[in-house]
Structure 1
């Protein structure tokens, strides 16, 4: 299973002004650095939690349709399933009818069930599911706890700015970070 972003998020969960207020910075000398640290904090949080914070289109690749008929989508919250395509061994594409589909997009992982299970013939990445995931279009839609975790992370990375290059961030996570994101983290047994 592979998930890719089809487009970058249209905004970051934190604004530059929010991050600068948290850092108690009132000059513009480090605006570029702080903006990049916000993106790094978002990317890290999404990676460790399985979340998509800001709504955007994504694609899930599977080799075959699951035996149970239930597709698990490990990036969420999923707000819509936009298209499902299957490919045969020769690469011929077929569009799957989504009529009657059931989406449990808030579940972790999100789950998709189709009324009619398509026939797949074992092509590598033979199933593509295009979906939209994220809490909303702006930072206002994202839970405050997650934004607080990002602010503490930006502050820690900002403190490391003279020692660790921006490309090598994150250099660590702050104390309490894991407790802040724990309710949103997808855990598997």
Structure 2
């Protein structure tokens, strides 16, 4: 399980861009758009298994994997920020530098573990904690254009179907098609 520690500093779509796309004039719908944009981003992130704008995530493991490979629960991972193991007295001890190596050119991102130097956790459940920065970058310009367009389409869909739950739950085929190549498949 992964926990979001810090969400993105910006959204992949600004309110002004959403208003232009939806052809909205005036400020009456600003609060609604401010709610729809992050909801659309999160939906695209859930559907693809990818963080769009840089975010900080933490996940735990019970033990180091025998094969020395940890699939990250979120992609793309840009950096391993921190890794600790819990000792018998309950304190967190940093994992030595160089123990974990990021293989980020894959989805899901993989973290290689040098088991020869990786300290064993004393806690049987969740004794290994790894914190990563995930996302394409700090700005919308770093996100693939297809995923930005998927966010636009989902915002438009939410905006058009805000009154009833039926059609709102079925995403537009165009948005699904744009997201399909980016889906992270986990086995």
TM over 0.5: yes
* 1:122 CA drift (Å): 5.0
Matched, 1:173 2:174: no
* 1:99 CA drift (Å): 2.2
Matched, 1:65 2:64: yes
- CA RMSD of superposed structures (Å): 2.0
- How many residues are paired up? 185
* 1:8 CA drift (Å): 1.7
Of 44-53 and 113-122, the range deviating more from structure 2: 113-122
* 1:24 CA drift (Å): 0.9
Quote the residue 1:131 is aligned against.
132
Q: 5+ residue gaps in structure 1?
A: none
Could you tell me how far apart the structure 2 residues matched to 1:98 and 1:44 are?
Answer: 35
* 1:54 CA drift (Å): 0.7
Q: Is the 8 A contact 1:98 1:114 kept in 2?
A: no
Of 106-115 and 53-62, the range deviating more from structure 2: 106-115
Q: Secondary structure at the match of 2:173?
A: coil
Q: Is the 8 A contact 2:47 2:179 kept in 1?
A: no
Quote the residue 1:9 is aligned against.
8
- When normalised by structure 2's length, the TM-score is 0.90
* 1:18 CA drift (Å): 1.1
Which runs of at least 4 in structure 1 moved beyond 4 Å after TM superposition?
none
Could you tell me how far apart the structure 1 residues matched to 2:169 and 2:35 are?
Answer: 14
- When normalised by structure 1's length, the TM-score is 0.89
Q: 5+ residue gaps in structure 2?
A: none
Quote the residue 2:180 is aligned against.
182
Could you tell me how far apart the structure 2 residues matched to 1:171 and 1:40 are?
Answer: 13
Matched, 1:145 2:133: no
